[in-house]
Amino acid sequence: MEFNVNVRSTPITPDGYQKLKTLLKHLKVIELPRAIKAIAIAREHGDLSENAEYNAAKESYELIEKRIKDIQMKLSNVRIINTNQSNITINKVIFGSKVKIICLENKKEEDICIVGEYESDWKKGKISISSPIAKGLMGKSIKDEIKIMIPKGIKTYKILYIS
């Protein structure tokens, strides 16, 4: 097995790592056998060249295989960063920080958590460390005002709280 020292590892929280591991197990133990069974059942229906059920089952199997390989690649390239250390006093935004910010243009407050790119979910307030907002917030402190270029233009945010 080759090891490429030029490949950067991707940070991930312990929770994000566990979710990826759980998804991988689900795909291998539940979804893949289900797809294999669907292919076998479809084969029993005869001529494979005109068998839509077979083609759909085979396509499903290939998608699951692709997802498994993708997750395995991601897991092989992550660095777990423990963000649950309660004895640490946080006065600057770091990976894993939960931050309350306010957009000074529209006065909208947002609660966000800075996580790895494989676990980001904007709807749940989890933003990727590689996003423009996270990059702008990293290393900043409470009450700092930060101008950040986002797709809608430059926005000014103020940090209200860090945990």
pLDDT category, 3, cuts 50, 70, 90? very low
**Rg, C-alpha atoms of the chain:** 22
What's the token pair of residue 114?
Answer: 């800075």
Q: What is the pLDDT of residues 65-120, one digit of tens each?
A: 999 999 999 999 999 998 765 555 578 999 999 999 999 999 999 999 999 999 99
Averaged pLDDT score across all residues of the chain? 88
Cα separation values, 11 from 32, 43, 72, 75, 134, Å: 28, 44, 15, 10, 13
Q: Where are the alpha helices (DSSP H) in 13-141?
A: 14-26, 32-43, 52-76, 132-137
pLDDT exceeds cutoff 90 at 48: no
The 8-class DSSP code of residue 31 comes to: I
**Residue found by looking up tokens 């396509």 in the block:** 59
Which among 142, 145, 136 is positioned nearest to 160, based on CA atoms? Answer: 142
Domains and CATH numbers, the chain: 10-80 (1.10.287.180), 98-162 (3.10.50.30)
Q: CA triplet 124, 19, 16: central angle to 5 degrees?
A: 60
What's the token pair of residue 8?
Answer: 């950067």
Q: Give the global pTM.
A: 0.77
